[in-house]
């Protein structure tokens, strides 16, 4: 649990920190779509049309009320793709092929996957360069995590050898319960380098925000949930070598005036140091593989990528 919440709020936090972010909703439930304020009943073009090849990916992208945060929305029609793709050649790489041309336009692509390990999730993990794994601190957490790691290595062996893991995010952490504390400690002991320092607390504001169609940072700015996701975004940028203390505030400020409803950027602004070279620009994606929980992934330069993969082993 926590995939869509992480996709939405990490995406909004990265956007707040000045990055151009595309959230790809790969779940027929459409929770990220409604969570950023898009009415699911009025969608014309969705992720479904993109993965089935009937429209170019850019036609499915729309702006949100958050500056620099874009969405490729989905609704229940996407469930049909799971069935329709089965008989097709290269069925696992439909999303990857479809979004390739979009990648240079964004600093991060976050893919929110459905709960089950079907063709949609496999497409998400095949398109991604790396995973971020949200992990709810509950009794079966480690068991679920082991299964998810196995899935990731299967995908790596058979389809996407470059797939990395950026980190595990402990979420719904409840400091008042011993179990939550114990699980957090166990997961940290098992995966000392993979578990991110930032923990997302159990927070009523985080649970409420989607019904108002807002990321928590606009629904409840300054709340513990909002602070946690901003801290998480900073930590992830640091882990990827993309955050410079002091330097990032100017990054934030210089992007503040951009119009959220304008066209997506044609490419990175060459004045923005970290992302200067379009060839090596990182694309990060959130995945939400199976039952355990959502992963977010990153991909950076080759060098950073090797570093990540190294972390993981
Ligand atoms: N830190 C949190 N504190 C309180 N509630 C949370 C928190 N994170 C998520 N939730 C709530 O828990 C529920 C499940 O979270 P979320 O939708 O993010 O999980 P998911 O992994 O995307 O689920 P699914 O597999 O169904 O897509 C939602 O109602 C959400 O609002
Ligand atoms: Mg979800």
Average pLDDT estimate for 3-31: 97
Residue 144 has pLDDT above 60, yes or no: yes
User: Taking a C-beta distance cutoff of 8 angstroms, is the pair 1, 293 a contact?
Assistant: yes
Minimum-distance ligand to the CA of 293?
1
Q: What proportion of the chain, given as a percentage, has pLDDT over 90?
A: 71
Pocket of ligand 1 (CB under 6 A): 1-5, 27, 29, 31, 115, 171-172, 200, 202-203, 206-207, 210, 288, 293-294
Q: Which residues contact 54 (CB under 8 A, 6 or more apart)?
A: none
Q: Which CATH superfamily is domain 3-312 in?
A: P-loop containing nucleotide triphosphate hydrolases (3.40.50.300)
First to last CA, the chain: 24
Q: How far is Cα 163 from Cα 143, in angstroms, rounded to an integer? A: 21
Q: How far is the CA of 228 from the centre of ligand 1 (A)?
A: 15
Average pLDDT estimate for 228-233: 98
Q: What are phi and psi of 292, to 5 degrees?
A: -65, -80
Q: How far is the CA of 5 from the centre of ligand 1 (A)?
A: 6
Q: What are phi and psi of 3, to 5 degrees?
A: -65, -55
Pick from 71, 58, 24, 104: which is nearest to 282 by CA? 104
pLDDT for position 299? 35
pLDDT for position 156? 96
Minimum-distance ligand to the CA of 2?
1
* Residue nearest ligand 1's atom 24 by CA: 115
10-14, 94-98, 118-122, 306-310: least confident range? 306-310
Alpha-carbon distances, residue 96 vs 11, 35, 269, 306 (angstroms): 20, 24, 24, 21
pLDDT for position 288? 44
Q: What proportion of the chain, given as a percentage, has pLDDT over 70?
A: 78
pLDDT for position 141? 87
Q: At what angle do helices 3-16 and 224-239 cross, to 10 degrees?
A: 70
pLDDT digits (tens, 9 = 90+) for 181-193: 899 999 999 999 9
- pLDDT-based confidence at residue 248 (cuts at 50, 70, 90): low
> 132: burial class by Cβ within 10 Å (0-12, 13-18, 19+)?
buried
Every domain of the chain and the residues it spans: 3-312
């Amino acid at each position: 649990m926590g995939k869509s919440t992480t996709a939405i709020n990490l995406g909004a936090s990265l956007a707040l920190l000045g990055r151009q972010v595309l959230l790809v909703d790969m779940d027929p439930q459409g929770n990220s779509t409604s969570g950023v304020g898009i009415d699911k009943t009025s969608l014309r073009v969705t992720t479904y049309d993109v993965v089935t090849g009937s429209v170019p990916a850019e036609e499915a992208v729309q702006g949100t009320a958050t500056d620099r945060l874009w969405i490729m929305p989905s609704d229940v029609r996407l469930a049909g793709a799971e069935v329709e793709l089965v008989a097709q050649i290269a069925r696992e790489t439909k999303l990857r092929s479809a979004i390739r041309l979009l990648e240079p336009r964004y600093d991060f692509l976050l893919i929110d996957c459905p709960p089950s390990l079907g063709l949609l999730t496999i497409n998400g993990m095949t398109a991604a360069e790396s995973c971020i794994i949200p992990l709810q601190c509950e009794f079966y957490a480690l068991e679920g995590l082991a299964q998810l790691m196995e899935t990731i290595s299967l995908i790596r062996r058979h389809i996407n050898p470059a797939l990395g893991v950026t980190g595990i995010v402990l979420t719904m952490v409840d400091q008042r319960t011993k179990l939550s504390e114990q699980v957090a400690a166990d997961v940290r002991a098992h995966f000392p380098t993979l578990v991110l320092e930032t923990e997302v607390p159990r927070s009523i504001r985080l649970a409420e925000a989607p019904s108002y169609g807002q990321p928590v940072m606009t629904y409840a700015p300054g709340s513990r949930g909002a602070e946690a996701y901003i801290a998480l975004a900073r930590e992830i940028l640091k882990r990827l070598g993309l955050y410079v203390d002091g330097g990032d505030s100017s990054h934030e400020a210089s992007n503040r005036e951009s119009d959220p409803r304008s066209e997506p950027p044609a490419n990175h602004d060459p004045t923005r140091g970290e992302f200067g070279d379009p060839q090596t620009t990182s694309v990060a994606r959130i995945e939400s593989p199976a039952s355990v929980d959502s992963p977010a992934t990153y991909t950076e330069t080759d060098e950073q990528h090797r570093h990540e993969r190294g972390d993981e082993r």
